[in-house]
């Protein structure tokens, strides 16, 4: 039998076996230790202890993989994983991503995948409207927030320095510079590296007490760069910073962008989900004025990685930036008013990323998401209350369910704080991290799991308090 070509009974039996294993994982996640004992020898032994020569049975292969996950992973779907915006994936999105794998549409050319391309266009339009963009919002699904931010840099370079597409950065007589707060995500720096601007082209702007970009310093850095003969072209604002959940003042940044003729990009990878809630949308005030926005569905919308989106209010900029002439690409839709994804994206062959979100929205709906997001806000506040009742103090100032806390008597003791977090994490019952808030090291706990509810908050408070009491 050609092992690339499973017959129908083998396929059905493999799926049935897999579904049972996945159900066991999904249903019993909470009974597993949140995180593994890190042992590189054991994990490499497991990885390599399988023959790649002649093939093993599919069920055996599934068991091997599931055992690897079981023993050697942080279980980010665990409700006591309080980490880095890695949610538990919702089930419709898991099904959607499985369909994308099985049908495997090629997104690159519209004429190869009209249904899939129109699904993505529809979702971008609908979600774009949630951000307040007008009808002609354009965008592209990306591998994640990093690719969306890189797309933003590419588009802004194309807009202000059109010669770069042909002649490269060396054709410029002024150094392009961009601005972002020191709390922004480091994918902005990485994008500066990838685009060839270099890290030194990124001006890191100080933040205020609430972790928002200091607009006065932003303006004086712009003026300083102008006086040095540089060419400021872009501000990357953040709506929901990764560490402590700060929101930049988008309306104020917009005014500066107009005054100095700069592209305004808003990185709302995580916080953008507030657009789905009538109650919390105000946190994004001004986002509709942005030239472009980054959003990650694989964060608060709990779809599997990777699922980022780049939105822009400039309907032609993606085409201008990425269009190539390639004679081998299909031509059937040439006369139609459609866009080929390969002319719109950094990627060429591309997975049907939008399906997992389309599937989620069909089944959960905007309303279901809104309720779930509001619940996460409530749980975040509940956690704050529990911690404050036991003498912990919260050091960050955000509405988001990101809690950076410590004991007032320990806040300047970095060694103690690190040891305390290590102790919690080595219990394997809870995963938290550390984050410096204005130079003081705190314990960071973030709610991104729809299973983290009242009962879990009790368990979290109990684990943290008893670890503290044990000294």
Ligand X SMILES: *Cc1c(COP(=O)(O)O)cnc(C)c1O
Residues that bind ligand X (CB under 6 A): 85, 144-146, 185, 187, 238, 242, 267, 269-270, 296, 308
CB of 71 to ligand X, least distance (A): 25
The distance of closest approach from Cβ of residue 454 to ligand X in the complex, given in angstroms and rounded to an integer, is 26
Output the CA torsion 309→313→319→320 (10° steps): -130
Kindly tell me which of 185 and 351 has the beta carbon lying closer to ligand X. 185
Shortest Cβ 146–ligand X spacing (Å): 3
Report the Cα–Cα distance between both ends of the chain, in Å, rounded.
Answer: 62
Q: Which residue is nearest to ligand X (CB)?
A: 145
Q: What angle do CA 126, 371, 148 make, to 5 degrees?
A: 40
**Residue 272 CB, nearest distance to ligand X (Å)?**
9
Provide, rounded to whole angstroms, the least separation between the CB of residue 184 and ligand X.
7
Contacts 24+ apart (CB under 8 A), 192-199: 192/153, 194/150, 194/153, 195/150, 195/153, 195/154, 195/157, 196/168, 196/169, 197/153, 197/157, 197/169
Of 148 and 361, which has the nearer Cβ to ligand X? 148
Query: What is the closest distance, in whole angstroms, from the C-beta atom of residue 149 to ligand X in the complex?
Result: 6
**Residue 270 beta carbon to ligand X: minimum distance, rounded to whole angstroms:** 4
Phi, psi of 46 (to 5 degrees): -65, -45
Cβ distance to ligand X smaller for residue 123 or 305: 305
Contact of 239 with 247, CB cutoff 8 Å: yes
Tokens, residue 430: 């809870």
Min dist CB 448 to ligand X, Å, is: 11
Give the sheet arrangement for strand 393-394, strand by strand. 393-394, 402-406, 440-446, 433-437
Cβ distance to ligand X smaller for residue 152 or 461: 152
Q: Which is nearer to ligand X, 130 or 410 (CB)?
A: 130
- Please state, in angstroms and as integers, the Cα–Cα distance from residue 72 to each residue in 75, 77, 285, 433, following that order: 9, 14, 42, 19
- Cβ proximity to ligand X: between 64 and 190 the closer is 190
Task: Compare residues 120 and 296 and give the one whose CB is closer to ligand X.
Answer: 296
Residue 82 or 269 with smaller CB distance to ligand X: 269
- Contact in structure between 106 and 351 (CB atoms under 8 Å): no
């Amino acid at each position: 039998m050609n092992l690339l070509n499973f017959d129908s009974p083998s396929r059905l039996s493999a799926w049935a076996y897999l579904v049972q294993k996945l159900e066991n994982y999904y249903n019993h996640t909470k009974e597993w230790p949140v995180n593994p004992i890190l042992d590189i020898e054991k994990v490499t032994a497991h990885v390599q202890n399988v023959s790649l020569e002649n093939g093993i049975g599919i069920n055996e292969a599934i068991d091997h993989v599931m055992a690897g996950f079981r023993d050697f992973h942080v279980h980010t779907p665990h409700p006591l994983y309080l980490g880095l915006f890695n949610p538990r994936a919702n089930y419709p999105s898991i099904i959607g991503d499985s369909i994308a794998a099985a049908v495997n549409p090629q997104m690159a050319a519209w004429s190869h995948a009209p249904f899939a391309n129109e699904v993505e266009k529809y979702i971008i339009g609908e979600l774009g409207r949630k951000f307040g963009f007008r009808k002609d919002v354009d965008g592209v699904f990306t591998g994640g927030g990093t690719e969306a931010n890189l797309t933003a840099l590419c588009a802004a370079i194309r807009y202000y320095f059109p010669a770069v597409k042909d002649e490269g950065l060396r054709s410029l007589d002024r150094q392009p510079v961009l601005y972002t707060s020191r709390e922004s995500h480091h994918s902005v720096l990485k994008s500066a590296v990838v685009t060839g601007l270099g890290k030194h082209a990124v001006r890191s702007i100080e933040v205020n007490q609430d972790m928002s970009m200091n607009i006065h310093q932003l303006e004086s850095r712009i003026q300083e760069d102008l006086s040095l003969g540089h060419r400021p072209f872009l501000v990357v604002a953040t709506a929901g910073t990764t560490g402590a959940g700060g929101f930049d003042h988008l309306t104020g940044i917009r005014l500066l962008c107009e005054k100095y003729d700069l592209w305004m990009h808003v990185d709302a990878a995580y916080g953008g989900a507030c657009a789905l809630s009538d109650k919390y949308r105000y946190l994004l005030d001004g986002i509709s004025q942005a030239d472009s926005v980054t959003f990650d569905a694989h964060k608060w919308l709990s779809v599997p990685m990777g699922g980022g989106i780049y939105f822009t209010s400039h309907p032609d900029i993606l085409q201008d930036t990425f269009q190539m002439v390639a004679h081998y690409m299909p031509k059937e839709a040439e006369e139609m008013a459609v866009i080929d994804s390969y002319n719109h994206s950094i990627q060429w062959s591309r997975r049907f990323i939008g399906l997992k979100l389309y599937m989620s929205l069909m089944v959960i709906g905007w309303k279901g998401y809104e309720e779930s997001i509001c619940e996460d806000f409530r749980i975040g506040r509940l956690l704050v209350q529990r911690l404050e009742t036991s003498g912990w103090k919260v050091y960050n100032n955000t509405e988001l369910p990101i809690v950076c806390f410590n004991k007032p008597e320990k806040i300047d003791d970095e060694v103690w704080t690190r040891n305390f977090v290590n102790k919690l994490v080595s219990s394997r019952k809870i995963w938290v991290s550390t984050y410096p808030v204005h130079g003081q090291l705190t314990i960071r706990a973030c709610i991104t799991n729809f299973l983290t509810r009242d009962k879990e908050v009790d368990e979290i408070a109990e684990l943290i308090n008893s670890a503290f009491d044990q000294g």
